[in-house]
Structure 1
Amino acid sequence: MEITFSLENIDQTAETVLRNIQNKVVLFDAEMGTGKTTFIKSLAKHLGVNDLTSSPTFSIVNEYHSATTSDIVYHFDLYRIEEEEEAYDMGMDEYLDSGNWCFIEWPEKTPNIIPEDHTLIEIFTLENGDRRLTLTNN
């Protein structure tokens, strides 16, 4: 699936993307500043998360609970991970096996932990400032 969107219609795009995701482990591949965290905030909102969501850059993972379902959303920002072993030490593999939503920024830092069944979302910034999103279910 491929979709082009502006920040003004990010919520509608997130809703469309959620309907097309087939795996709860979702990897985000995009350059710094492309809007990964902003898009994840919108996805969490559509999953019923009312908590203030923010990038877990320093904590590595944030946990959010849906107010409308029993869903738990884990948001990982692996940018600061230097060795994959750090992710194992924090129990990342257990989060990924939990059956809960796992949104992962910078997944290339932990290639051996990522399950084979996952969804990949790639986001690119276009010259006019819009974003092009590609979704692939593996």
Structure 2
Amino acid sequence: MKKEYHLSQIDEIAKAILAESKYKIIAFHGEMGVGKTTLIKVLAKQLGVNELTSSPTFSIVNEYRTPTDILYHFDCYRMENEEEAYDIGIEDYLYSDAWCFIEWPERIENILPSEITKVRIDKINEQLRAIHLKN
């Protein structure tokens, strides 16, 4: 999937990601400030998360409950190396069959399973983004 979207269309883009993703592990690529966390908040809401979601920048991972599942939201930006991911037990999360949304996945790329969905967000201008989804 390749689409351009206006920020006001983020709900539609989130629905498209959930519909087209073959996997429950989704890696979000994009520069700082492009809207990865904002998109993940919308995805969480569409999965049925009722609690307030926030970026796990300092905690590395936040856990949320959906009506039928668990969602783990990772922010790997502050990780210095893959050893830090092992220290938090990342393998347990990744192989739990729960939803895993990962920001800054390039920091732990060698740890990630091969069966993931990759989403890249590019900023075109202040209100327009391009999204590329690859399973």
Same fold, judged at TM 0.5 (above): yes
What's 2:53 paired with?
A: 53
Q: Detail structure 1 runs of 4+ shifted over 6 Å in the superposition.
A: none
| Whole-angstrom distance in 1 between the partners of 2:126 and 2:49 | 31
Q: Which amino acid aligns with 1:106?
A: W
Give 3-state SS (helix, strand or coil) of 2:78's partner: coil
Instruction: Give the CA deviation at 1:127.
Output: 3.0
Say yes or no: does 1:111 pair with 2:109.
yes
How many residues are treated as equivalent by the alignment?
135
| Whole-angstrom distance in 2 between the partners of 1:54 and 1:9 | 20
Alignment gaps of 5+ in structure 2:
none
| Root mean square deviation, CA, Å | 0.9
**TM-score if structure 2 supplies the norm length?**
0.97
Q: Percent identity?
A: 53
Instruction: Give the CA deviation at 1:12.
Output: 1.4
What's 1:98 paired with?
A: 96
What's 2:16 paired with?
A: 16
Most deviating of 128-137 and 76-85: 128-137
Give 3-state SS (helix, strand or coil) of 1:124's partner: strand
**TM-score if structure 1 supplies the norm length?**
0.95
- CA deviations 1:45-86 (Å, max 9, x no partner) are 1000011000000000000001xx311110000000002101
Give 3-state SS (helix, strand or coil) of 2:93's partner: helix
